[in-house]
Each structure stands twice: as structure tokens, then as C-alpha cells.
Amino acid sequence: MARRERLVREGRVAEAVSRGAVAVLARLEVSIALATQRRTDVELARRQREADLVAARARLRALLQEHEQLVDTVHRDELARAQQRMRIEQLEQRALDDLGLEAHELVAQFGPEQPVPVVLDAEQQAGLDADGDAQPSGAVPFVRSEQEKRLRTAERGLAALGRVNPLALEEFSALEERHHFLGEQLEDLRRTRRDLLDIVREVDDRVEEVFTQAWYDVEAAFETVFRRLFPGGEGRLVLTDPNDMLTTGIEVEARPAGKSVKRLSLLSGGERSLVAVAFLVALFKARPSPFYILDEVEAALDDTNLGRLLEIYEELREHSQLLVITHQKRTMEIGDALYGVSMRGDGVSSVISQRLRERSEA
């Protein structure tokens, strides 16, 4: 009985829930319809605004082009006015320099409204008098084309005559004296050039001689040092242009034992480092120096190659002082003194030194 009543209650509850769900679905359908309509209206409004925006941008571009055209026109006009003012100023200055007249005086006396004086023969003068011409005798009205034609004719005649220079003799004497002076200076420069070329040749000969001697010494030392650092290997230095010792280049050929390659690019990193060390040591042996600074040259070497390099260090230190920057313990052990840099607690670096042995004086 109790179960039946519970089922009845649950059925009533389910029926109420069903009616509520139907009502909710109806409201949702109304809301969805309203939202769809609203979205459609918003989409139409957005498309209209986008169309208005496109039209506004097109109008803006057209206005910008029109503005640029106006700016260019104004700029050309200003440039033309500036050129015109400059031309007027030049003409005023030319009139003042050539004729000694201000522009207003020149226009007042020789302007277009003034008659142009001409040279007339007797027959032409009689014809003017008979016609009762109001113009003064020997003058005609200003016509630009005719006056420009007369100007060109007069300029050709003047050019044919040439200019008369009353100071020509004095100028010729001055130019002749300057020509003589410049001739002496030119000859002096030629002698100096010949002397400088002789000096250059002497320097080139001396440089070539010194380089050739150094080349043969370094070449022999490199082969010896290479055989020590690469037992069983072969290394040599080759000139790219033996006929021109001043411009020749130097190529390094290295063939470690057991390998057939000679190009440095085909060697390993440690082998390339050791070849570079061999070249440096060859330079040291061919042209000794009081001291050498070596910065971690043995960083890429293994223990075997490091031992061979340390033997060479021992030979070099007999006649020179070596300053070696290194992290290798074996290199530190052969040194006379060690200098280390450490950072204190306050962040300031300090140098620590320790003398390992007293070096005997030669």
C-alpha cells in the first residue's frame, strides 16, 4: 500500500515536471525566435555599417588624393614664384653690375613704352619726316620680336670682333711667370715621384727578402714541430703564388698518421687546434721573442697531445718567458708561478698568486 502511494506521488511529480518542461520549451522557442530575429537585425545593421565604412574609406582616399594633388600644385606654384623672384633679383643685380642702374631706373629709361633708337640713313629719315611720324628722329616703337632679332645680330657681330683687353700684356706676363713657376714645381714633383718609387722598390725588395727568409725558416720549423706533435704524420706550408712573395698566400697541409686527408676542414676540432699550435710554435722557433702569451691553446687537446705540447713549452721557456692562460692541471704543474682570479663574498674580484719554484737564471 505504501509503495502504491509512493508511486502515485512520483507519477504526479513527474506529470508536474513534464508540464513545466513543456512550458519551458515553449518559452525557449519564443526566446530563440526573438534572438534569431535580433541577430538578423544586428547582422543587417553590421553589413550596412560595413558598407558605410567602405564608402567612407573610399571617399577618404579620394579626398586624400585630391589633397595631395592640391599640395603638389601649391608646391609647384611656390617653387615657380621662388624661381621667378630669384630670376628678377638676378636681373636686377646684373643691371646694377653691368649698367650701374637700379631696376626702376632701367625700366623708366629703357622700358617697353620707350621708343627704341636706331641708326637711319638719310632716305629713311626723310620718309619719316614726310609721314609726320610722331616718334623722335631715329627711334621706332618697341616690338619684342624685332628687338630680339637685332640683339642676336649684334651679339654675333660682337663675338666676331672679340673683346679688347687693354691689360692683355700685363696678364700675359703674369701668366708666363706663373707657368714658369708651375713648370718648376711640376718637375720637382716628378723628381720626388721618381725618388718615392725608388724607395718603394727598395722597401718591397727588403720586405720580400725578409719575408722569404722568414718563410723558409718557418716552413722548416713547422715540419719539425708537426712531426713532434703528430708522430708519423706529415705537415707542410705551401705558397699559393711562389713567383710573387709580396702577394702570395699560405696554405697549410696536414696529414695525421693513419689519415689520407690534408685539408684542415676535414680534421677534427682537436687536430685543427693542434695544427694551429704547431704553426704558432714554428713562428716562435723561427723568430724568437722575449715572451709569449698563450690563451687556452691546449683546451681542446687530450692528455697525449697535451704531453707533447708541454714538452715544447719546456723548450720555449729556456729562452723566453711564457704567460699561459689555462684550465689544465698538467699545464699548471710545470709553471714557475700561478696567478688565479676569484670572487670574494662582496662580489669584488681578487688575484691570488703562488710561486711553485724559483726559476734558475741563465
SS (H, E, C) 198-261: HHHHHHHHHHHHHHHHHHHHHHHHHHHHHHHHCCCCEEEEEECCCCCCCCCCEEEEEECCCCCC
Distance CA 85, CA 83 (A): 5
Distance CA 250, CA 212 (A): 12
pLDDT higher for 270 or 72? 72
Distance CA 176, CA 195 (A): 29
All three cell numbers of 36, joined, read 534569431
Same domain, 225 and 331: no
pLDDT tens-digit map of 259-282: 776 777 777 777 788 888 888 888
Task: Of 309, 359, 362, 301, give the one whose Cα is nearest residue 335.
Answer: 359
CA distances from residue 65 to 57, 59, 61 in whole angstroms, order as listed = 12, 10, 6
Distance CA 267, CA 263 (A): 7
Same domain, 228 and 246: yes
pLDDT tens-digit map of 230-240: 888 888 888 88
Last-in-domain residue among 232, 267, 287: 287
Containing structural domain, residue 238:
172-287
The enclosing domain of 358 has a CATH number of 3.40.50.300
pLDDT higher for 109 or 307? 307
pLDDT attached to residue 359: 54
Distance CA 198, CA 186 (A): 18
Last-in-domain residue among 287, 315, 344: 287
* 3-state SS, residue 324: strand
In a domain, 138, yes or no: no
List phi, psi (to 5°) of 252: -105, 125
Number of domains in the chain: 2
Same domain, 276 and 177: yes
pLDDT higher for 351 or 202? 202
- Position 85 pLDDT exceeds 70: yes
Same domain, 272 and 302: no
Rounded to 5°, angle at Cα 39 from 33 and 40: 90
pLDDT tens-digit map of 130-145: 555 544 456 778 787 8
Same domain, 339 and 314: yes
Task: Of 285, 256, 286, give the one whose Cα is nearest residue 271.
Answer: 256
Same domain, 184 and 277: yes
Same domain, 251 and 187: yes
* 3-state SS, residue 14: helix
* 3-state SS, residue 262: coil
Structural contact between residues 252 and 279, judged by C-beta atoms closer than 8 angstroms:
yes
**pTM of the complete model beyond 0.85:** no
In a domain, 310, yes or no: yes
Same domain, 242 and 266: yes
CA distances from residue 185 to 77, 188, 191, 236, 315 in whole angstroms, order as listed = 54, 5, 10, 54, 60
pLDDT higher for 62 or 306? 62
Distance CA 362, CA 352 (A): 28
Residues 178-188, mean pLDDT to the nearest whole number: 93
pLDDT tens-digit map of 12-31: 888 888 888 888 888 888 88
Taking each continuous run of H as one helix and of E as one strand, the counts in the chain are 8, 8
* 3-state SS, residue 319: coil
Rounded to 5°, angle at Cα 44 from 41 and 47: 150
Rg of the chain over CA atoms, in angstroms?
52
